[in-house]
Amino acid sequence: MSFASSLIRGFALLGLLTVSYVGVAHAADATPDAKPYVVKNGDEVDMNTYKGFLYYGDECLRCHGPDGMGSSYAPNLTQALKTMTKVQFETTVMSGIKQVSNSSDLVMPAFGTNPDVVDNLNSIYAYLKARSDGVLKRGHPHHLPGT
């Protein structure tokens, strides 16, 4: 009885904490200058950014090249993100680009049905933004413990 009620109180508290945490996270998103990454010493990154590096490697690198630097096929994303907003980035990746006026066959595929990309778009953005802002070096970053 007392165990059950303390269990219930525990869940209620957890719910409360979750709600306040989500509230804080949204407030941070609303700040335009909030950096989506943590980078130390040029190659140590928080877990979210590190995941972005891994998913970039799985899903984007084959066209956009190592480190987001572009290839003969697809543009340099470290340059693109200097002027693109996060929403423009997300829309482009979800819907892709198919230029009807363009006679070449260069296509940015739509990733809207690829859960590896959809569920990790924030991470991929954080990684590419850190590269674009010039704070993260080329190559394989290290995960900062505790982040």
Q: Which residues contribute to the site for ligand HEC (CB under 6 A)?
A: 59-60, 62-64, 73-75, 77, 80, 89, 92-93, 97, 99, 102, 106-109, 111, 117, 124
Contact 36, 44 (CB under 8 A): no
CB nearer to ligand HEC: give 23 or 134: 134
CB of 109 to ligand HEC, least distance (A): 5
Contact 126, 29 (CB under 8 A): no
CB of 53 to ligand HEC, least distance (A): 12
| Residue that has been written with the tokens 């066959």 in this structure | 105
* Alpha-carbon gap, residue 98 to 106, rounded angstroms: 8
CB nearer to ligand HEC: give 47 or 94: 94
Q: What are phi and psi of 79, to 5 degrees?
A: -80, -45
CB nearer to ligand HEC: give 45 or 117: 117
CB nearer to ligand HEC: give 27 or 106: 106
* Alpha-carbon gap, residue 99 to 35, rounded angstroms: 32
β partners of residue 45: 39, 143
CB of 124 to ligand HEC, least distance (A): 5
